[in-house]
Amino acid sequence: MADNKRPESMARITTPALAQAFIDEQLAALRAQIGDKKVLLALSGGVDSSVVAALLIKAVGKQLTCVHVNHGLLRKGEPEQVIEVFRNQMDANLVYVDAVDRFLDKLAGVADPETKRKVIGAEFIRVFEEEARKLEGIEFLAQGTIYPDILESGPVKAHHNVGGLPEDLQFELVEPLKFLYKDEVRVVGKQLGLPDGMVYRQPFPGPGLGVRCVGAITRDRLEAVRESDAILREEFAKNGLAGKVWQYFTIVPDFKSTGITEGKRTYDWPVVIRAVNTVDAVTAEVAELPFPLLQHITARITSEVKGVNRVLWDVTPKPSGTIEWE
């Protein structure tokens, strides 16, 4: 489709000045498209949807309603950050949906990775649709589609992360980032004043921690994933690795091993550390980590995370291992 091709004349957005020019142009275009009508946006807190939200808040203010669905598979502190930045600092209309129980009930006993993804995607659409129906007079649906999404999947109906949005609701799409590459989205986000923690976030899959709690998700093992991930991120940030390693996270497999804590025998889960560098996620190499740091992270995880007595480091490149474990 012609209108899904990036114009050849469009300069690569690499500087604050170029970002500002893009923002000014988009604000005018968004106001022209939306007029005095209302817009809805599924705001995950990821880079793309956050930048779309910030643009729309500037363009049409309270005509925008952001819906943040907490599916229980977000990282520690993420829902709080979305509320703090968008509701408290940017004064946006933000509907926060606590759907944790709904998702975890639907996922109970589901062990197959692709079925898990489908359950999460389908439930997301259902929750979002319910929220959309509660709001009156919405005519536009904003999406954080970026250029690689279009290149990878042809004319997109669905945002890559959430696995699709309601098709039977008759919305006109608003996709202000659809010709931007990821690095350009970050420059624009920075220029819009979003916090660095949001703009320079590492990639995070739509199914979230769900694919890192290997096999059938249980609440206690999911908490072990969330807590160990928070420790890993904190230690990477403290040790200057946060902006340097492309993606890093923890996984908790669905098996236990014996251990000893304070002289008592334990039978608990291991936590796996995965940290990789890549250009395009098609292949990846393992990030070299200082051994003292690994020892320190291990000590923290085994003493602070409930139900964990062992830490493993995944030193497998892609291929043969994928970046995620399922």
Q: Per-residue DSSP letters for 268-291?
A: EEEEEEEEEE-SSSSSBEEPP--H
Q: Which of residues 21-60 bind ligand XMP (CB under 6 A)?
A: none
Least distance (Å) from ligand XMP to the CB of residue 202? 8
Between 63 and 247, CB nearer to ligand XMP: 247
Binding residue (CB under 6 A) for ligand XMP from 161, 250, 302, 309: 161
Residue 14 DSSP symbol: -
With beta carbons less than 8 A apart as the criterion, state whether 55 and 192 touch: yes
Q: Is 247 in the site for ligand XMP (CB under 6 A)?
A: yes
Between 129 and 324, CB nearer to ligand XMP: 324
Between 60 and 116, CB nearer to ligand XMP: 116
The total number of residues shown for the chain amounts to: 326
Q: Is 71 in the site for ligand XMP (CB under 6 A)?
A: no
Binding residue (CB under 6 A) for ligand XMP from 17, 281, 299, 315: 281
Least distance (Å) from ligand XMP to the CB of residue 264? 37
Phi-psi region of 44 (alpha: psi -120 to 50; beta: other; left: phi over 0): alpha
Residue 206: partners with Cβ closer than 8 Å, 6 or more residues away: 44, 117, 120, 121, 160, 161, 162, 163
With beta carbons less than 8 A apart as the criterion, state whether 183 and 85 touch: no
Q: Is 145 in the site for ligand XMP (CB under 6 A)?
A: no
How far, in Å, CA of 302 to CA of 305, rounded?
6
Q: Is 274 in the site for ligand XMP (CB under 6 A)?
A: no
Of 111, 109, 44, 102, residue with least CA distance to 74: 44
Per-position x/- string for 190-209, each x denoting binding to ligand XMP as judged by CB under 6 A, each - no binding: -------------x-xxx--
Q: Is 234 in the site for ligand XMP (CB under 6 A)?
A: no
Least distance (Å) from ligand XMP to the CB of residue 277? 12
Stretch that binds ligand XMP, among 16-24, 65-73, 220-228, 316-324 (CB under 6 A): 316-324
Residue 96: partners with Cβ closer than 8 Å, 6 or more residues away: 68, 70, 79, 82, 83, 87
Is residue 98 classed as helix, strand or coil in its secondary structure? strand
Phi-psi region of 282 (alpha: psi -120 to 50; beta: other; left: phi over 0): alpha
The two tokens of residue 187 are 């420059």
Q: Which of residues 105-134 bind ligand XMP (CB under 6 A)?
A: 117
Least distance (Å) from ligand XMP to the CB of residue 214? 12
How far, in Å, CA of 61 to CA of 94, rounded?
11
Q: Is 322 in the site for ligand XMP (CB under 6 A)?
A: yes
Least distance (Å) from ligand XMP to the CB of residue 306? 25
Stretch that binds ligand XMP, among 36-44, 56-64, 260-268, 317-325 (CB under 6 A): 317-325
Phi, psi of 52 (to 5 degrees): -60, -45
Least distance (Å) from ligand XMP to the CB of residue 322? 3
Between 203 and 259, CB nearer to ligand XMP: 203
Q: Is 75 in the site for ligand XMP (CB under 6 A)?
A: no
Lookup result for tokens 């497998």? 316
Between 161 and 309, CB nearer to ligand XMP: 161
The contact set with ligand XMP (CB under 6 A) reads 117, 160-161, 203, 205-207, 247, 281, 318, 322-324
